[in-house]
Structure 1
Amino acid sequence: MRYNPAHEPATPPESRLVMPVQSFRAWNKAERRRPAAPGNWTTPWLKRLFVFGGGLALTAYGAWEMYHVVSVSRTTSLQYVLLALFTINFSWIALAFTSAVLGFFGVLLGAGKAAHADTLRHRTVVVMPVYNETTARTFAALAAIRESVEATGLGAHFDYFIVSDTTNPDIWIAEERAFLALRGRLGPDSRVYYRHRPKNHHRKAGNIADFVTRWGGHYEHMVVLDADSLMTGTCIVRLAAAMEADPDAGIIQSLPLIINRNTFFARLQQFAARVYGPVIATGLAMWSGRDGNYWGHNAIIRTKAFADHCGLPDLKGKPPFGGHVLSHDFVEAALIRRAGWSVYMLPDLTGSFEESPPSLIDVSVRDRRWAQGNLQHSRIIGAKGFVLPTRQHFATGIMGYLASPFWLMQLVVGILIVLQVNYARPEYFTQEFTLFPVWPRFDPERALRLFALTMAILLAPKLFGLVLTLFRTRLRRAGGGAIRLIVSALIEVLFSAFFAPIMMLIQSGSVFQILLGRDTGWNPQRRDDGSIPFRDIVRRHRTHTVLGVVTGVSAFMIATSLFAWMSPTIIGLVLAIPLSWASGQLAIGLWLKRHKLLLTPEEGEPPQIVLRANALQAEFAAAGYDDADGLTALHADAELRHAHELMLPDAQPRRRGEIEPDRAVAQAKLVDAEAIEDAAIWLKPKERMVVLHDRALIGLLASLPAERASAAA
């Protein structure tokens, strides 16, 4: 008898776990579990002393030098403000530098290697949350992951779960069609499941929590993905083996590398992440030790520990600082670590991939949400029971967005000081008698040395990553060779400098909006390589361009030295519109790719899973699920309707006399419709969702003729 996936349940029987809501205000240290293997809990004190002690020493030296730069004569109030802002910004890059130095030697010496595995004892589920995503991409990735895991010979230990929070009715039906097609392709032992949530309560965190509380009891571990994730079977099996070998591990994070990107800006990010990322991630992993962090995807989690300790409370007040926790991953890592489970990264574990947004504007949209989530952590960083490194992870995330307004303020204060020098009248009569007026003066030689030191510290992590890539024969050849790698690094540094002031203003604007109480919401991320309409680019960046022109003219009129000092910032802002346009151009990215510039080793020698996922995506796209009208597809396929109704949760009984307006309107339109074409035209997205959730209305939809009577005649 032929296997029919439409007649099979979309999910396994529930195996519930309780997920109690945690408290940030109350916690007893006695609640922290004792390590099962205390010998593994070594705190990397020397590494932390090097990173934080070295960063502090560098910051102190930089502040001391800056003090002497501005204190040639009597120091003004503005100069003290400049000193304070410089010290804050310098501390940020000094800490990144010392961490990168540690990471450089860690990569050189092979730190963080994961053990291989021949056998596994427990069951693991691979969970892919989706939210209004292209089904050809997500289901192809999942199919490729499953094939790769099966190839290890340990596939029987793994299940696969697509947990959907999709709110677009057409995409929802496309997901169900893709799911049924994938199940039919794999046969009755696919172990692939699908669940759609009627309401995306608490977004991704709520999506994962719903899965854990309903089916988490089946699985010892879960590998959490993003919709753009791709992981090799070897990587997943090694993560599961590492978790089984370490009874104290709560979360083990892999290092995802960016792949499949072809626009100019995305290729810049892809190259930077591949060449510089391992150095930065290894340094972070080395000083964090077992007090590490979690990035929300491409990681394995102990399911029961997650359920017991990672129920997120709502924060008091309204968004952006109140409401549900937006950047949940940092907080989940903090909570599970507080409970006595370790969180750490295996940066040397290969085979973990993700994708990046295709343009500067797409990055800024995602960045706005991340900014709100990280600034919201300012209300969580002081929670009881968190270990000190956890608080440092929060502080790093917060500072990652505050750095932009601090940099902006430093530029503004610098301009004001130059204005004071050139246009303000000197103060001859101060409280103390002096023979000379009080001028704000600088030591130019010391200032030049300090600028050189700052740039060296800022660029050193990139140099470390480039050097390590050049000295590894396979990576060097796969990246296009030594000359092309060096040219690519120069291109990345140059254009990063141009994009930096634009991102500085975008992030500063995001921070100010958040401080004013404006919530970002949660829009689906654009993942394709299509460019943004030019008028939208002009609208988004016209203010940046005007500001760049005004700043450039003002700086030139004040002093040519000021114009020279600010020239990288001015150029980036004046060219904001063409730079943003170029960032999303597929043609520029593909030209660079043809000439083997900004080439990553994964492009030079593509991993098999990447090739397989891309081939499956083309195959799945040819099925046309993403382009079809959901209602029409459901109407035309009785088996799809049957499967869709099986996947729906049990309907809640309606109280007599209570009328739901959207349902009443949807029903009236279906009654008036003479054919499915009318329903497809008349029903609005919200009404379509009502129809798709209601078995009675689906029956009414199914009863409509395929064509109007007049057309049929």
Structure 2
Amino acid sequence: MRRDPLEAAAMVPRLFVATGALALGVSAGWLFYLSLQPVPVSWVDWARTMLIGFSVFWLGWGALTALLGLLWRPAQDALGDLDSEPMPSFATAIVIPIYNENAGEVFARLRIMRDDLMAAGCVSGFDFHVLSDTRDADRVEVEKACYREVARDPGLPIYYRNRTSNEGRKAGNIKEFVTRSGGAYEAMIILDADSLMTARCMMRMVKAVARDPKLGLLQTLPVVIGAETVFARIIAFATGLYGRTFARGLALLQGRCGPFWGHNAIVRTRAFAQSCGLPVLPGEGPLAGHIMSHDTVEGALLARRGWTVRCDPDLEGSYEEVPAHLLGFAARDRRWCQGNLQHGRVLLARGLPFWSRMNIGLGIIAYSASALWFSFLVLSLISAGTTSVYERTMRVFLALGDFQLSLLLGLIIGLLFLPKLLVALAGLAGYQNGILGNLRVLLGYAVEAVSAIFLAPILMMFQSRGIMEILMGRDSGWTTAHRDHEALRLSECTRATFWMSVVAALGMAMTWYLSPLMFFWSLPVALPVLLAPVLVWITAKPVTARGAARLGLIANTNQVLGGELRRIADV
């Protein structure tokens, strides 16, 4: 059997990342085990050793993927010469599923994209479909009023429908569209309510589908826009500076089994219809029923039928927004966590390509990692509490000058910060902002790194709680996206995070009682969790573009709308 050239090209990058991450994880576990000697190792310490090895494996996977994207570039941009090709004659649907969204903003973005397409000469070939799952009658009336206003303007056709039943949530919404209207379209561009794409980007995606008859899905890398709070600015800076490099590494691993993130992508309608029928998982509880994180599974199902699924990180003109504050981010993350854990029930489905299973498995690991790290911290307390005073004192004494422990700590710090620093340094030449501009980028790197140190433990607590709730049978439900930029009150932040402050205070008290030195080692994790209400409140504060620039949090022009859409940057 002839080997697929896309899969063959991905073999060496996959081996590089997989073997490198595995070697880092095993080395970390071995170093931690050696640091426990010569005091006898209990079952708790064996569990801690495995957890530290797994955590470093996961850190190593991300770091090596970023390094791959930094050092190893494809020979050429597969879509580089598409601009000169004529538009194909087939029709493309631009699909926008919504649920309890701000209708004015949704249709304003639609108007922007329609105007840009028409300005680019696309007077036909694209139809817009707003697919509403909104249940609130008043919101539905607002959506209909906004639709009527925009539909009155001449231009590309716009259609709107509100489903009578929102079975299957977003996946069911798109399924109903494909079942009813998909036959009229060769391809569909799937957007989220907060998505925005330039005409050039959409036209290139359509041409890519026309050029490659095996291309089932092409995923873009959305750039974050609309950031107005400290938290959103930090996310926008991080994705703007590091995201494209990491996505290049991801693209080199994909072969024909790339990622699908559920939006800002084009899908061949026929391929989707024949491949992406999702199962309803049997049983009761949060891991049963309709698959919430359906996009990863749909990408795997397309690859199973032989269609190519790929991500092009260099395809510019694709934008999205992020939640304005950490509470909104955590609420969305909780829904994704439940959806990704559901994937464990489809991981072994028949016929899935190996790398599709890897994508599904890595998604599960991404949400399990926080709970496993939290388990390591809990087990460390148990270990300290179940050993004698002599053994605790001996371990603390040995740890002060322990070479293996120092090497392990250096390895973890290097994996956390070195890849980002290398990407930041490598990217400075591309900004051409002079010495002052480059210093601002480095300042932004420092601000983002410090912010990550303070916010990562809080996200760990949210994700660990989410996994506990799922294991206890609690469903996250179908929540509305948190995209408003209204500042949070300190009382709201306290109500939402008080529980983790209590956990941190108890943990710090126990650690101080067992070992004052261990207490000081725990502060980088425990202190941010203790101060979670204040940190969430501060990062939810609005900050102007000038203020963000002073903090170095505007790295390049990709963090505002591109030149094609700059005239509507206030939307």
- Specify the TM-score bucket, using the shorter chain as the normaliser: over 0.9
Q: Are the equivalent residues in 2 in contact too, given 1:145–1:609 (CA < 8 A)?
A: no
Distance across 2 between alignment mates of 1:83 and 1:440:
20
> 1:318 matched to which residue of 2?
284
RMSD of aligned C-alpha atoms? 2.5
Q: Could you give the per-residue CA deviations for residues 72-124 of structure 1, whole angstroms, max 9, x where no partner exists?
A: 34323222121111111111111112111111124597766544233122221
Task: From the superposition, tell whether residues 103 and 236 of structure 1 become closer, same or farther in structure 2 (CA, over 3 Å).
Answer: same
**Aligned ranges 1:670-709 → 2 under 5 Å:** none
Distance across 2 between alignment mates of 1:39 and 1:150:
38
Q: Are the equivalent residues in 2 in contact too, given 1:140–1:614 (CA < 8 A)?
A: no
SS at match of 1:519: coil
> 2:412 matched to which residue of 1?
454
Deviation at 1:145, TM superposition (A): 1.1
Structure 1 counterpart of 2:453, from 493, 497, 510: 497
> 1:484 matched to which residue of 2?
440
| Paired residue type of 2:106 | T
> 2:327 matched to which residue of 1?
361
Task: From the superposition, tell whether residues 93 and 603 of structure 1 become closer, same or farther in structure 2 (CA, over 3 Å).
Answer: closer
Distance across 1 between alignment mates of 2:459 and 2:39:
36
Distance across 1 between alignment mates of 2:198 and 2:559:
18
Q: Could you give the per-residue CA deviations for residues 40-60 of structure 1, whole angstroms, max 9, x where no partner exists?
A: 664411111111111122222
The TM-score with structure 1 as length reference comes to 0.76
Task: From the superposition, tell whether residues 605 and 206 of structure 1 become closer, same or farther in structure 2 (CA, over 3 Å).
Answer: closer
> 1:151 matched to which residue of 2?
119
Distance across 1 between alignment mates of 2:560 and 2:294:
35
Q: Are the equivalent residues in 1 in contact too, given 2:259–2:309 (CA < 8 A)?
A: yes
Distance across 1 between alignment mates of 2:53 and 2:5:
40
| Paired residue type of 1:469 | G
Q: Say yes or no: does 1:543 pair with 2:543.
A: no
Q: Could you give the per-residue CA deviations for residues 581-622 of structure 1, whole angstroms, max 9, x where no partner exists?
A: 112111x4656325253114237764235534445x4xxxxx
Deviation at 1:279, TM superposition (A): 1.6
Structure 2 counterpart of 1:120, from 82, 87, 91: 87
> 1:570 matched to which residue of 2?
526
Task: From the superposition, tell whether residues 318 and 602 of structure 1 become closer, same or farther in structure 2 (CA, over 3 Å).
Answer: farther
> 1:196 matched to which residue of 2?
162
Q: Say yes or no: does 1:388 pair with 2:354.
A: yes
> 1:621 matched to which residue of 2?
none
Larger displacement relative to structure 2 (461-470 or 494-503): 461-470
SS at match of 2:362: helix
Gaps of 5+ in 2: none
Task: From the superposition, tell whether residues 554 and 197 of structure 1 become closer, same or farther in structure 2 (CA, over 3 Å).
Answer: same
Distance across 2 between alignment mates of 1:106 and 1:595:
33
> 2:463 matched to which residue of 1?
507
SS at match of 1:44: helix
Task: From the superposition, tell whether residues 596 and 136 of structure 1 become closer, same or farther in structure 2 (CA, over 3 Å).
Answer: farther
> 1:165 matched to which residue of 2?
133
Q: Are the equivalent residues in 1 in contact too, given 2:236–2:559 (CA < 8 A)?
A: no
Distance across 2 between alignment mates of 1:184 and 1:238:
28
Distance across 2 between alignment mates of 1:120 and 1:103:
31
Task: From the superposition, tell whether residues 109 and 69 of structure 1 become closer, same or farther in structure 2 (CA, over 3 Å).
Answer: farther
Q: Are the equivalent residues in 1 in contact too, given 2:6–2:256 (CA < 8 A)?
A: no
Distance across 1 between alignment mates of 2:24 and 2:35:
16
Q: Say yes or no: does 1:611 pair with 2:569.
A: no
Q: Are the equivalent residues in 1 in contact too, given 2:124–2:156 (CA < 8 A)?
A: no
> 2:554 matched to which residue of 1?
599
Task: From the superposition, tell whether residues 590 and 488 of structure 1 become closer, same or farther in structure 2 (CA, over 3 Å).
Answer: same
Distance across 1 between alignment mates of 2:174 and 2:300:
17
Q: Say yes or no: does 1:528 pair with 2:484.
A: yes
SS at match of 1:161: strand
Gaps of 5+ in 1: 1-33, 427-436, 618-713
Task: From the superposition, tell whether residues 107 and 600 of structure 1 become closer, same or farther in structure 2 (CA, over 3 Å).
Answer: farther
Distance across 2 between alignment mates of 1:374 and 1:554:
34
Distance across 2 between alignment mates of 1:45 and 1:506:
36
Q: Could you give the per-residue CA deviations for residues 142-196 of structure 1, whole angstroms, max 9, x where no partner exists?
A: 11112222233234221111111111212211111111111212x2x43111111
Which protein is bigger by CA-based radius of gyration?
1
Distance across 2 between alignment mates of 1:480 and 1:163:
47
Q: Are the equivalent residues in 2 in contact too, given 1:420–1:440 (CA < 8 A)?
A: no
Q: Are the equivalent residues in 1 in contact too, given 2:329–2:482 (CA < 8 A)?
A: no
Distance across 1 between alignment mates of 2:75 and 2:6:
20
SS at match of 2:82: coil
Distance across 2 between alignment mates of 1:334 and 1:152:
34
Task: From the superposition, tell whether residues 275 and 110 of structure 1 become closer, same or farther in structure 2 (CA, over 3 Å).
Answer: farther
Task: From the superposition, tell whether residues 522 and 613 of structure 1 become closer, same or farther in structure 2 (CA, over 3 Å).
Answer: farther
Deviation at 1:465, TM superposition (A): 2.6
> 2:214 matched to which residue of 1?
248
> 1:555 matched to which residue of 2?
511
Q: Say yes or no: does 1:327 pair with 2:293.
A: yes
Q: Are the equivalent residues in 2 in contact too, given 1:223–1:298 (CA < 8 A)?
A: yes
Q: Say yes or no: does 1:46 pair with 2:4.
A: no
The TM-score with structure 2 as length reference comes to 0.94
Deviation at 1:549, TM superposition (A): 2.4
> 1:516 matched to which residue of 2?
472
Structure 2 counterpart of 1:292, from 239, 250, 258: 258
Q: Could you give the per-residue CA deviations for residues 203-247 of structure 1, whole angstroms, max 9, x where no partner exists?
A: 100111111111111110000000000111111111111111111
Task: From the superposition, tell whether residues 241 and 88 of structure 1 become closer, same or farther in structure 2 (CA, over 3 Å).
Answer: same
